[in-house]
Amino acid sequence: MMAGEMRKSALMAIDEINGSDEFDFTFAAHLRDPGGVVAAYHTACDDLIREEQVDHIVGCYTSASRKQVIPIVERTERLLWHPARYEGFESSDNVIYVGAAPNHNVVPLVRHMLDQIASDVFCIGSNYVWTWETNRVVREIVTSAGGRILAERLLELGETAVDHIVSEIIERKPPAVFNTLVGESSYSFIRALHEATMRAGLAIPMLSCSLCEPELELIGSVASVGCVASSAYFESIEGPANRAFVARWKARHGADSNPCVDGLSTYVCVMLLARAIRRAGSAEVGAVRRAAANHRYDSPQGPVWVDPDNNHCFLTPRLARSVPGCQFKIFWEADAPERPDPYLSNLDLTAVGTRLERSNDAMTKRSNHLRIVK
C-alpha cells in the first residue's frame, strides 16, 4: 500500500512543479517498481542511473531497500531522497533523509506514555530491524525511568495469526501496549485486540509510531478508534498549507482518499529537491546538496529543512489519538521543528524522569516537556 501512496504523492508534486511559474524547469519522472523485492532495488537504481542518466532518486520505504541503493548512489555520486521514517544510525552523504528520525517519533511517544499512561509496557512488533531498534530505545527510556518491559513479542512480517498474543495481553492486562507491527500484521492485531478488550471490558491503551490514516481505514472504522500515534504528519494538521494540500489531494485522488505521512513525506522530498535545484541553479548533486542545506520549506507538515550535519530533516513531532472517521486528533505538538538526531546522541535519559506516581490525579503526573494543545 505504501509504495502506491508514495508514488501518487511524488507524481502529484511533480505535476505541481511542472505546472508552476515558480520553477523555470520541469521534472521528468522515470518510474521503477522493484515491488518490495530487496535485490531488485539495486538493479532498478543501477538502471535509472545508467540508462536514464537520473541524478536524483526519490523512494525506498524499507531500510533493506535503502541499503541496496546506497552503495550505488555513493559510487556514482547521486542523491537518494528517502521519504520514510526509519530506525536511525545511518548518515550517508548521498541520501537526504526526509522521514522522521527516532527522536522525532519514538522518543516523544515513549515520553508521553511515561508521563500520562504507564511506566510498564507490553511490546509487540514485526520481526525486523525497525522493531528491534525501536524496542531497544523504548526499553532504554522506560527502564531508565524505573519502568519495565513486560514482554517483547515478535511476529514474522506478514503474519496475521495474532490470537495467542492477544490472549496473553488479555490475561496479563498490561497498562499499555507498544505496537511496532507493520502492514497486515498490525491491522489484524489491532482488530483482534479491540474485540478482545471489548469482550473482557478492558481499556488497554495502544501506542504506535507508524499508524496513518489510510491504515485506519484498512483496520476498520470501529476497531481503529483510540490508538495513540506519533508522527510528523497527520491529515488533521491545521493551517492553510495543509488544508490546501488536503484539498488538492482530494481533488486529484478522490474525496474518499486520504493522504498519509509517507505519501506527504514523498511529496516533501520532491518539493525540497525542486527548491534546492532552483536555489542552486543546477541539478548537479553537489550543488543541490549545498543548496538544500538549511533551506526552509513551509510544507503541509510545517517548516521542514535539511540539517547539513547529518542530511536528515528538521521536523515537528506530533502525537494524536485516532477518532471515528479514520482520522487522528492531534493532542500535542512540539513548539518548533526539532533537530534530527539519527544516532540519538542527544537523548538525555536522566531528563526522562522517574517512575510514574501510582495516582490517578493527572496533576501529579510529570509533563514538563509535553505541551497539550487544545
Which spans of this chain sit near other proteins (rule: CB under 8 A)?
39, 42, 63-64, 67, 70-71, 87-90, 127-129, 132-133, 135-136, 154
> Residue 329's beta-bridge partner residues?
321
Minimal distance, residue 91 CB to other proteins, in Å: 10
CA 14 – CA 256 distance, rounded (Å): 22
**DSSP letters along 136-189, please?**
HHHHHHHHHTT-EEEEEEEE-TT----HHHHHHHHHH--S-EEEE--THHHHHH
The residue (of 97 and 328) whose beta carbon lies closer to other proteins is 97
Minimal distance, residue 227 CB to other proteins, in Å: 24
The residue (of 92 and 116) whose beta carbon lies closer to other proteins is 92
Which of the 8 DSSP states describes residue 210?
A: S
First to last CA, the chain: 33
Query: What contacts 24+ positions apart, CB below 8 Å, involve 347-354?
Result: 347/103, 347/107, 347/141, 349/140, 349/141, 349/144, 350/144, 352/111, 352/114, 352/141, 352/144, 352/145, 353/111, 353/114, 353/115, 353/145, 354/145, 354/146
The residue (of 70 and 109) whose beta carbon lies closer to other proteins is 70
The residue (of 127 and 236) whose beta carbon lies closer to other proteins is 127
The residue (of 32 and 42) whose beta carbon lies closer to other proteins is 42
Minimal distance, residue 55 CB to other proteins, in Å: 21
Minimal distance, residue 125 CB to other proteins, in Å: 10
Minimal distance, residue 129 CB to other proteins, in Å: 6
